[in-house]
Structure 1
Amino acid sequence: MSDQPQHSTDDAGVPAGAAVQADKLQAYMLGHYMGALSGIRLFDEARRTWSGTPYEGQFAAFVEDIQNDIEHLEAMLDRLGATRRQVVRTLGTVTGVASRLNPLSRIRERAGIAAHGELEMLQSLVVAKRSMWVTLLELAPAEPRLDAEELRKLEADAADQYDRLRTIARRTARDRFLARA
């Protein structure tokens, strides 16, 4: 017999009586919303870095992917009851910060190590986004306004985005770091 207290759960494994704290969930999602808004700008800067290469179109596709993510986040926030005022206030915060910070405004040289660092940073943003979808998926059984199927698709899309970014980094790394004989 276990010394651990036994807690009852429903069919989805949610502890009996557990409820998602809407204010915390909305704040969490608004933080990721801010990240997505910044991500659009950062991926568009990367598209300009890779302009004229086979990768330009891939970065344009990443921008479209993030715009799609933003639409999904906005719809989820609407379903959770986040007010437009909260979203607009978040947008104002992002715009203010973004106007002062530009972490990728270094020399836009795709062959340099800064470009490789940019690719790694973009990969980390996609990992963070994927983690959010996984977290929301974990909460979906306790929050009926979160659509588990939608979240599974978004998580799979983020995994694919990471793989595509990793492929670009892998294919271009040798040109950056290996000396020519």
Structure 2
Amino acid sequence: MSEQTRPDDDGTARPAALRADRLEAYMLGHYMGALSGVRLFDEARRSWAGTPHEGRFATFHEEIRHDIEELETMLARLGFSRRTLAKALGTVAGIASRLNPLSRIRERAGVAAHGELEMLQSLVVAKRSMWVTLLELVPDEPRLDAGQLRRLEAEAADQYDRLLEVARETARDRFRAHG
């Protein structure tokens, strides 16, 4: 018998149950990342204010906020306490108050701003990976909603494509000599 199976009452190998502590740790790690991510998307929204891309970044910010609400709902459905979520929020807020990772890259026309776009893309890739991973766990965790996870994964893929589109539309100008 492997680690992934356990004997049933009749000795038949059955899939081992998911470990709630591992699932909670995994999801809380992503939850804390999402809380940081929404802050970074809000900073990007402010950075792109007054540009043709302003509306796109406002939309990204709202979508990320909605993703956090979906994740909170999922965590509650899985029985993870509000106190645990509040603790994660407190941890992220404490770190965020001391760090400002985008403070050096406010210039939306510079090369550093392109790095900001790439960082935002990587956050969306990580989020999409979480939805895919959770989708794989659906057979062992019936409180996870496969339809919801497929929708969230597709939305993350779309967000990535739209961020990539902004990067493509603005990249050449960032690397050109001016004046």
**Residue 18 (1) aligns with residue 16 (2):** yes
1:109 to 103, 107, 110: 107
Query: Residue type of the partner of 1:145?
Result: R
Aligned-pair identity in percent equals 73
Structure 2 equivalent of residue 97 of structure 1:
95
Structure 1 equivalent of residue 36 of structure 2:
38
1:113-154 alpha-carbon deviations (Å, 9 max, x no partner): 110000000000000000000000000111000000100000
Structure 2 equivalent of residue 3 of structure 1:
none
Aligned-CA RMSD value: 1.6
Distance in structure 2 (CA, Å) of the matches to 1:167 and 1:134: 23
1:63 to 45, 61, 64: 61
Distance in structure 1 (CA, Å) of the matches to 2:82 and 2:20: 16
**Given the two structures, how large is their TM-score scaled by the length of structure 1?**
0.89
Query: Residue type of the partner of 2:125?
Result: V
**Residue 50 (1) aligns with residue 29 (2):** no
The answer to whether the 8 A contact 2:135-2:146 is kept is yes
Distance in structure 2 (CA, Å) of the matches to 1:29 and 1:134: 12
SS at match of 1:16: strand
Unpaired segments ≥5 residues, structure 2: 7-12
Distance in structure 1 (CA, Å) of the matches to 2:42 and 2:168: 20
The answer to whether the 8 A contact 2:105-2:116 is kept is no
Structure 2 equivalent of residue 148 of structure 1:
146
1:58-109 alpha-carbon deviations (Å, 9 max, x no partner): 1111111111111111111111110111001111000001111111011411
Q: How far did residue 17 of structure 1 move?
A: 3.1
SS at match of 2:87: helix
Structure 2 equivalent of residue 161 of structure 1:
159
Distance in structure 1 (CA, Å) of the matches to 2:155 and 2:15: 33
The answer to whether the 8 A contact 2:138-2:146 is kept is yes
Q: Report 1 or 2 for greater relative contact order, CA contacts < 8 Å, sequence distance ≥ 6.
A: 1
Query: Residue type of the partner of 1:61?
Result: T
User: How many residue pairs end up in the alignment?
Assistant: 169
Q: Tell me: CA distance 1:180–1:102, structure 2 relative to 1, closer, same or farther (3 Å).
A: closer
Distance in structure 1 (CA, Å) of the matches to 2:116 and 2:35: 17
Q: Which moved more, 1:21-30 or 1:162-171?
A: 21-30
Query: Residue type of the partner of 2:156?
Result: A
Q: How far did residue 180 of structure 1 move?
A: 5.3
**Given the two structures, how large is their TM-score scaled by the length of structure 2?**
0.90
Q: How far did residue 16 of structure 1 move?
A: 2.1
